[in-house]
């Protein structure tokens, strides 16, 4: 079912469009908000046929207004995920440094570490078996 734009309300940072289905039915899900972008540069991106089909479906379904909007959303999500991964790596390094600063380990060598791991595994399995 195609969307038709019935009016546009403009404020300082956003362009807000209210879209109606033919027949004039409006619902919450049919309201869209678009950010006005200054200094936008147009680029060409190569996509596999499968990726292009996903982008087109998102636009044709009305979920997004354009393929550019889909790509911007994907880049925002990629950027967010990279920031979270960076935080994870930073936390891992912090924990590594804390471990080094805590002093020497309790086990003399790798064989002792493996023996302790096996002991803990057996204890955990025994606990599951007995239900304690």
% of the chain surpassing 90 pLDDT: 53
Instruction: Please state the domain extents for the chain.
Output: 1-36, 40-115
pLDDT > 70 in the chain, percent = 70
Across the chain, what does the average pLDDT equal? 78
Q: Considering only CA atoms, which of 41, 45, 36 is closest in space to residue 16? A: 36
Nearest to 33 by CA among 2, 4, 64: 64
Token pair recorded at residue 73 = 């959303």
Which of these ranges, 7-16, 54-63, 111-120, has the smallest mean pLDDT?
Answer: 7-16
**How many helices (H) does the chain have, and how many strands (E)?**
3, 3
2-16, 30-44, 47-61: range with highest mean pLDDT: 47-61
Q: Which of 66, 68, 75, 82 is nearest to 32 (CA)?
A: 66
Confidence check: pLDDT of 11 > 60: no
Strand bridging mode 31-35 / 4-10: unpaired
Q: Which helix (H) or strand (E) holds 91?
A: helix 67-101
């Amino acid at each position: 079912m195609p969307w038709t734009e019935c009016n546009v309300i403009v404020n300082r940072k956003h362009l807000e469009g209210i879209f109606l289905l033919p027949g004039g039915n409006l619902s919450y899900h049919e309201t869209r908000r678009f950010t006005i972008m200054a200094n936008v540069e147009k680029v060409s991106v190569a996509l596999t046929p499968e990726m292009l089909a996903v982008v087109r479906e998102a636009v044709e379904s009305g979920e997004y207004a354009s393929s550019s909007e889909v790509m911007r959303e994907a880049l925002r999500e990629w950027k967010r995920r990279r920031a979270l991964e960076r935080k994870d790596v930073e936390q891992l390094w912090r924990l590594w440094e804390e471990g080094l600063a805590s002093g020497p380990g309790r086990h003399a060598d790798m064989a002792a570490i493996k023996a302790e791991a096996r002991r803990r595994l057996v204890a955990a399995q025994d606990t599951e078996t007995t239900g304690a």
